[in-house]
């Protein structure tokens, strides 16, 4: 049994990546994810990997594109403004079907915003974010232990589908410390990547990594193929947690937001209210199936986010008018308190739900 | 019968899409000949730019990656670090390398990445239809400098080789031209040297090729070559700006 160690979220994610076989990391400093970059600077040379402090986030993601094309497990990390810069490269990774892992420790925005935790990059992460019709798998860990597990999983998913995978944390998750256990099992030996640009030796024909399809029909065929892949991911990779499926009211929250909601559920249940939670772990694909499991019984859903209301749109789509969906959020780096969420919940229970 | 001239192994049997008289094709061939002569084709990974040479991945008979506009040096960095044994080259135009990708080229060079950059300076944006490039000469007419480039209004043309030769990470920097057979031979020697510098792990190497764009310059191929000689070369001095162990010339 692996020992329990106390670690900061950013560092735990970095260590998890290394244990998952990541051997290439490029990043550019930005608060609140700097410890991840610094940890990689220390550890990568020890494991025979590469750490590069790039000249910009744009360069970092393009280095990941290169290393990923050459078959390496490659990662970059940043926080909101830096992720905006990475979007060009993420679109290219998706278009050329190059695996890569991108960690976003979200902070308040828009613009330079704040350095406090936020969830306001949900749209950017789950809708593609860069140009073109594409999707990235988005994983939203709710604890440092889960961040470790999902980071390791991110590399597997990225390789399996040849697609970028985003680990969407926030400043809180990055900065806090929790006990974590790294799995004992050695990382799976890397699967062969016959498509990688590693030189033609022993292969005979050149491999080409490319996202250009100059003719509309060819580009559409490429898009159709990508869309088929995304449908497959939607079938195979949905992950979520359902807290008290027998409840009447359901909070919907992910990541740090879900931690606040756990405190709310404890209080609400102490007061005799039947409150449960749908906690998406994959934000894309969104766990529609979790909503389906409880929607017939639910009296209302309350989406709680550290944003002005982004995931709530997915909740509304999933609920499809079958019951009311309410929202509570704080923005800019302010974190909702359990009291605030509790009073919003009580308004709903008492029929004073207010705005949907 | 003895064959004395064939297609290099490092080129595929695909007709170039370049305009008549465009030097891109000559430079492709020279790069391919170097790869063949050095016997490194099977471990070569090329990075295609955004620009007229965007389809370079169809022409080079080795592993190829198509990069975003200007980002080829960063992509090459990722490949080279993940696979130090690979021979990695980028092929970039002046818009790609000296405008949108300035940060990437300067920092790949300062890091001393063991990559080889083939830099085609035709003083214009070819692919998008003849707009001003960072290398457009003062007085030169383009679609975005319709009255000619005015340094006080549009800024000055940038001399990439001189600039990069100043950086400690560069091992070999040369500027060549392909407007005549003698120059073509010299260009080939410089390209070969640039690849050798990489293969011997000496640092970053770049060959700037003063090129032409007859189509967007609005000239016949012959006029364009004459224009290279009369207008480009006085500003873009040919020569080796840095060779390994020698520092800046
Ligand atoms: C991000 C981005 N901006 C702009 C373009 C459009 N674009 C394509 S090629 C090009 C200019 C290329 O010029 P150059 O690098 O000099 O190469 P040439 O075509 O002259 O060989 C531009 C601006 C693009 N594809 N991507
Ligand atoms: S537009 Fe200019 S640079 Fe492009 S292929 Fe034609 S001549 Fe060559």
Neighbouring-strand partners of residue B204 = B170
**Structural contact between residues B196 and B174, judged by C-beta atoms closer than 8 angstroms:** no
pLDDT 10s digits, B70-87: 999 999 999 999 999 999
Looking up tokens 């992950």, which residue turns up?
A: A239
Overall average pLDDT of the A203-215 stretch: 97
Helix (H, G, I), strand (E, B) or coil at B179: coil
Beta-bridge partner residues of A177: A8
% pLDDT > 70, chain A: 98
Residue B168 φ then ψ, to 5°: -65, -25
Q: pLDDT at position A188, please?
A: 67
Checking if the pLDDT of A266 tops 80, the result is yes
ipTM of predicted assembly, 2 dp: 0.96
| Ligand 2 center to B12 CA (angstroms) | 20
Three-class SS state of B43: helix
Whether B247 shows a pLDDT value over 70: the answer reads no
The CA–CA distances, whole Å, from A114 to A108, A247, A331, A333 equal: 5, 36, 10, 6
Interval A344-353 mean pLDDT: 92
Ligand 1 contacts CB of residue B208 (under 6 A): no
Assigned token pair, B197: 């510098």
Tell me what pLDDT residue A354 has.
Answer: 74
Q: Is the pLDDT of residue A186 over 90?
A: no
Name the phi and psi angles at A5, rounded to 5. -125, 150
Position B177 pLDDT exceeds 90: yes
CA–CA dist A249, A247 (Å, integer): 6
Mean pLDDT of A268-282: 97
* Tens digits of residue pLDDT in B187-223: 999 999 999 999 999 999 999 999 999 999 999 999 9
Q: For B85-121, how does the pLDDT look when each residue is reduced to its tens digit (9 = 90+)? A: 999 999 999 999 999 999 999 999 999 999 999 999 9
Element (H, E) at B88: strand B87-93
Distance CA A72, CA A74 (A): 6
The pLDDT tens digits for A7-26 are 999 999 999 999 999 999 99
Tell me how far apart the alpha carbons of residues A124 and A238 are, in angstroms, rounded to a whole number. 19
> CA–CA separation, B18 vs B120, rounded Å?
14
| pLDDT higher than 70, residue A170 | yes
Statement: residue A184 has pLDDT above 90: no
Tell me what the mean pLDDT of segment A30-40 comes to: 97
**Closest CB to A197 among B64, B103, B104:** B64
Our answer on whether the CB atom of B51 is closer than 6 Å to any ligand 1 atom is: yes
Both tokens assigned to A252: 């919907």
Q: What is the pLDDT of residue A191?
A: 82
User: What digits encode the pLDDT tens for the residues A296-339?
Assistant: 999 999 999 999 999 999 999 999 999 999 999 999 999 999 99
Chains A–B, number of C-beta pairs less than 8 Å apart:
140
Q: Does the structure show a pLDDT above 70 at B230?
A: yes
A130-162 pLDDT, tens digit each: 999 999 999 999 999 999 999 999 999 999 999
CB distance A94 to A136 below 8 Å: yes
Question: What is the predicted pLDDT for the residue at B246?
Answer: 67
What does the pLDDT read at residue B249? 47
Q: What is the DSSP string of B131-168?
A: B--TTPPTT--BTTBTT---HHHH-PPP-HHHHHHTST
From B132, B61, B133, select the one nearest B92 (Cα to Cα).
B133
Contact B171/B246 with Cβ under 8 angstroms? Answer: no
Q: What is the pLDDT of residue B103?
A: 98
Q: Which two tokens stand for residue A36?
A: 């991840």
Instruction: Give the mean pLDDT of B155-181.
Output: 98
% residues pLDDT > 90 (chain A)? 94
pLDDT value for A1: 63
Asked if residue A108 has a cis previous peptide bond (ω within 30° of 0), the answer is: no
Ligand 1: which residue has its CA nearest to atom 26? B69
What's residue B175's pLDDT? 98
pLDDT of residue B116: 99
Ligand 2 contacts CB of residue B116 (under 6 A): no
Smallest Cα distance from B197 to chain A, Å = 19
Whether residue A110 has a cis bond before it, omega within 30° of 0: yes
pLDDT of A205 strictly over 50: yes
Query: Nearest CA to A339 among A240, A271, A241?
Result: A271
**Residue B216 in contact with residue B18, Cβ under 8 Å?**
no
pLDDT of residue A41 exceeding 50? yes
Lowest mean pLDDT among A84-88, B1-5, B8-12, B236-240: B1-5
- Across the interface, of A59, A71, A209, the residue whose CB is closest to B82 is A71
C-alpha–C-alpha distance, residues B83 and B242, integer Å: 26
What gap in Å lies between CA A80 and CA A170, rounded to an integer? 9
pLDDT at residue B131 is higher than 70 = yes
**pLDDT at residue B17 tops 60:** yes
pLDDT on residue A185: 75
From the CA of B163, how far away is ligand 1's center (Å)? 22
Distance from CA of A60 to the nearest CA of B (A): 7
pLDDT over threshold 50, residue B248: no
Q: Answer yes or no: is the C-beta of B126 below 6 A from any ligand 2 atom.
A: yes
C-alpha distances (whole Å) from A321 to each of A24, A123, A314, B221 are 46, 21, 12, 67
B232 pLDDT more than 70: yes
Q: What sign has the CA pseudo-torsion B233, B234, B238, B244?
A: negative
Q: How many H helices and E strands in chain B?
A: 11, 8
Residue of B21, B47, B52, B69 best suited for mutating to test ligand 1, as the one with most atoms within 8 Å of CB: B69
User: What pLDDT is stored for residue A5 in this prediction?
Assistant: 96
Assess contact for A59 and B104: CB atoms under 8 A: yes
């Amino acid at each position: 049994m692996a020992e329990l160690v106390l670690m900061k979220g950013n560092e735990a994610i970095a260590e998890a990546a290394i244990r998952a076989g990541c051997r290439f990391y490029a990043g550019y400093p930005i608060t609140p994810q700097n410890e991840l970059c610094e940890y990689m600077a220390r550890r990568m040379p020890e494991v025979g990997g590469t750490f590069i402090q790039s000249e910009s986030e744009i360069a970092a993601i393009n280095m990941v594109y290169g290393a990923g094309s050459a078959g390496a497990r490659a990662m970059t990390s940043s926080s909101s403004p830096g992720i905006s810069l990475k979007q060009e490269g993420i679109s290219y990774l998706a278009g050329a079907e190059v695996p890569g892992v991108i960690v976003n420790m979200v902070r308040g925005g828009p613009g330079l915003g704040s350095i406090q935790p936020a969830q306001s990059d949900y749209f950017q992460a789950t809708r593609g974010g860069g140009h073109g019709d594409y999707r990235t798998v988005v994983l939203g860990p709710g604890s440092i232990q889960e961040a470790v597990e999902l980071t390791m999983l991110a590399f597997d998913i990225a390789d399996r589908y040849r697609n970028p995978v985003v680990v969407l944390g926030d400043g809180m998750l990055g900065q806090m410390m929790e006990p974590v256990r790294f799995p004992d099992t050695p990382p799976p030996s890397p699967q062969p990547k016959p498509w990688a640009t590693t030189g033609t030796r022993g292969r005979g024909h050149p491999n080409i990594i490319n996202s250009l399809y100059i003719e509309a029909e060819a580009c559409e065929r490429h898009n159709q193929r990508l869309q088929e892949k995304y449908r497959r991911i939607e079938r195979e990779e949905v992950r979520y947690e359902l807290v008290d499926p027998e409840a009447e009211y359901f909070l919907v929250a992910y990541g740090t937001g879900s931690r606040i909601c756990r405190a709310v559920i404890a209080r609400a249940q102490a007061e005799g209210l039947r409150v449960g939670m749908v906690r998406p772990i994959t934000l894309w694909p969104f766990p529609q199936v979790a909503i389906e499991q409880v929607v017939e019984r639910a009296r209302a859903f309350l989406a709680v986010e550290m944003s002005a209301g982004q995931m709530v749109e997915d909740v509304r789509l999933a609920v499809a008018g079958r019951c009311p969906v309410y929202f509570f959020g704080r923005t800019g780096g302010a974190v909702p308190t359990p009291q605030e969420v509790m009073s919003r919940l009580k308004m709903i229970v008492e029929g004073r739900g207010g705005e949907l | 019968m003895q064959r004395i001239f064939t297609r290099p192994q490092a080129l595929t049997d695909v007709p170039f899409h370049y305009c008549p008289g465009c030097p891109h094709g000559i430079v492709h061939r020279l790069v391919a000949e170097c790869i063949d002569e050095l016997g490194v084709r099977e471990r070569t990974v090329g990075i295609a730019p955004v620009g007229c040479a965007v389809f370079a991945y169809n022409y080079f008979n080795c592993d190829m990656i198509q990069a975003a506009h200007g980002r080829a040096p960063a992509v090459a960095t990722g490949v080279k670090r993940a696979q130090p044994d690979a021979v990695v080259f980028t092929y970039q135009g002046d818009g790609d390398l000296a405008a949108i990708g300035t940060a990437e080229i300067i920092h790949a060079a300062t890091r001393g990445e063991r990559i080889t950059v083939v830099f085609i300076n035709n003083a214009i944006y070819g692919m998008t239809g003849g707009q001003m490039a960072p290398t457009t000469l003062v007085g030169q007419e383009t679609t975005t400098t319709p009255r000619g480039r005015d340094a006080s209004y549009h800024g000055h043309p940038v001399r990439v080789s001189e600039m990069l030769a100043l950086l400690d990470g560069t091992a070999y920097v040369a500027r060549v031209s392909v407007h005549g057979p003698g120059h073509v031979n010299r260009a080939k020697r410089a390209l070969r040297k640039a690849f050798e510098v990489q293969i011997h792990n000496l640092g970053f190497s770049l060959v700037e090729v003063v090129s032409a764009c007859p189509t967007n310059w609005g000239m016949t191929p012959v006029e364009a070559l004459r224009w290279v000689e009369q207008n480009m070369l006085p500003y873009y001095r040919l020569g080796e700006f840095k060779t390994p162990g020698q520092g800046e010339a």
